[in-house]
Amino acid sequence: MTESGFTVDVDQNQYLPEGGREVSAIATVTSAADAAGLAGPGPEPEGSAEIIIIDCSGSMEHPRTKIAEARAATAAAVDVVRDGVLFSVIAGTNLAWPAFPADGSMARADAASRAAAKQAVAGLRAGGGTAIGQWLELARQMFAGYPATLRHAILLTDGKNQHESPEQLATAIRECEGVFSCDCRGVGTDWEVNELRAISTALLGSVDIVPDPAGLAADFAAMMQSAMGKQVADVALRVWTPQHATVRFVKQVAPTVDDLTGRRTPAGPQAGDYPTGAWGPDESRDYHVGVEVTPAGVGQEMLAARVSLVANSPSGAEVLGQGLVRAIWTDDEALSTKINPRVAHYTGQAELAAVIQDGLEARKQGDEETATAKLGRAVALAHQSGNEETAKLLAKVVDVVDAETGTVRLRKQVEDADEMALDTRSTKTVRARK
């Protein structure tokens, strides 16, 4: 345990065959419940800022319960905001405007400001189009006016981003990276999973479907509760490699699959940082790190990588925890061919997410042969890894003939909500046992 309250445990088979180059390891990062800096109710309130972004486009009026439940959900989230935390509400159509406070500032949470926010939200009405990039851009501008280190948004929509170009949305997402994190929710079935996934992935948040608007209030309250528990902001996974080694990939593999490889930023000689977002107490995540090394002689050992968790602040980077990835060359085939069970498990979970998304896309394109093969492979992987939640979701899209072999038949009739739930939750993994 480090003083910061974080541990980094590395799990791997460190033995390589003669001439072997590829080293693979699972780094488990855990924050302690009672560690220094992570105990207590949370960071200083002035260090946190929250924005709730609500779709008020015309389609939110159909059915009318949708906009009513969105208002109720926003009120439920506002109720959870801790005293002293900065917060605001944005209304979004083909434009974006501050619903509370109306002047575009952020309010300090207390009984009076929460009541005023709920009163303002009660007046929101549906009408107009959808331009999500503008909503994000307004949130970015509002966050930028305050020095809070933990900045988080909740974004709700029920429709596709029809009133701006894909390029405009992509630009807005890019400009928001590193400014705030964002949890996205789609209500109903007329929104685009890939649009919200692009936002949540870039902004280190979650994405999910709320098929029935009645479920929004509980979901919003839970998201805000989670955000209120975050206590360490701007944390990165730093991977250092020696001169004769290169990082092939870095992926978060639990609790969800998220490929961080392309998000590396240089952090000194031979080192790069990969963003992990904010952390709360008693939280644990697994990362799959792949390194390519220059082969050494049989019996030789080298440090293939050093994996550190680093908190960046104006005063500099603080190392919160550290683990080592090793390579030892051997001519003992029994040692070098043994696959680490946790590496194997998460390799399968990453493949599971990919084949679900590929299979659903093939189904959408009318390619039944590819869809059947991919979703059948997904059923087999879910069965083998014990991922029961994903197996249940798959069973609503395909008829499972034999889970062990992945033999399935595509269902002719599939509810849109079931297909979208499988898509949005495809990246959720089950933890590998140590």
Task: Give 229-274 pLDDT, tens digit per residue.
Answer: 998 888 999 999 999 999 999 999 999 999 999 999 999 999 999 9
Supply φ then ψ for residue 157, to 5 degrees.
-140, 160
> What is the SS3 assignment for 35?
coil
Task: Give 270-316 pLDDT, tens digit per residue.
Answer: 999 999 999 999 899 999 999 999 999 999 999 999 999 999 877 77
Pairing of strands 22-31, 284-293: antiparallel
**pLDDT in the model for residue 35:** 45
CATH fold of 342-424, please? Four Helix Bundle (Hemerythrin (Met), subunit A) (1.20.120)
Task: Give 342-386 pLDDT, tens digit per residue.
Answer: 999 999 999 999 999 999 999 999 999 999 999 999 999 999 999
Peptide bond into 269 cis (omega under 30): no
The CATH number of 45-229, from 3.40.50.10470, 3.40.640.10, 1.10.10.10, 3.40.50.410, is: 3.40.50.410
Task: Give 140-191 pLDDT, tens digit per residue.
Answer: 999 999 999 999 999 999 999 999 999 999 999 999 999 999 999 999 999 9
The upper half-sphere exposure of residue 243, i.e. CA atoms within 13 Å in the direction of its Cβ, equals 0
Continuous H helices in 81-110: none
Q: What DSSP assignment string belongs to 164-217?
A: S-HHHHHHHHHHHTTT-EEEEEEESS-S-HHHHHHHHHHTT--EEEESSGGGHH
CA separation for the pair 52, 135 (Å, rounded):
10
Average confidence (pLDDT) over 186-201: 98
Comparing C-alpha atoms, which of 354, 359, 356 is closest to residue 369? 359
Q: Could you tell me the CA-to-CA distances from 337 to 10, 252, 348, 426 in Å, in that order?
A: 19, 25, 18, 30
Assigned token pair, 142: 């509002």
**pLDDT in the model for residue 32:** 82
CA separation for the pair 26, 251 (Å, rounded):
10
CA separation for the pair 395, 427 (Å, rounded):
17
Residues 6+ apart with CB under 8 A from 326: 12, 14, 23, 301, 302, 303, 304
Give pTM, 2 decimals: 0.94
Comparing C-alpha atoms, which of 432, 361, 429, 357 is closest to residue 390? 429
Assigned token pair, 326: 């090793």
CA separation for the pair 47, 39 (Å, rounded):
16
Assigned token pair, 253: 């593999």
Q: Give the H/E segment covering residue 367.
A: none
**pLDDT in the model for residue 122:** 98
Supply φ then ψ for residue 97, to 5 degrees.
-145, 155
**pLDDT in the model for residue 41:** 43
CA separation for the pair 306, 3 (Å, rounded):
19
Pairing of strands 48-55, 301-313: unpaired
Identify the CATH class of 6-36+233-252+259-333: mainly beta
CA separation for the pair 276, 184 (Å, rounded):
17
The 10 Å Cβ neighbour count of residue 175 is 14
Is residue 89 predicted with pLDDT exceeding 70? yes
Is residue 326 predicted with pLDDT exceeding 80? yes
Q: Give the H/E segment covering residue 302.
A: strand 301-313
Q: Where are the domains of the chain?
A: 6-36+233-252+259-333, 45-229, 342-424
Average confidence (pLDDT) over 53-81: 97
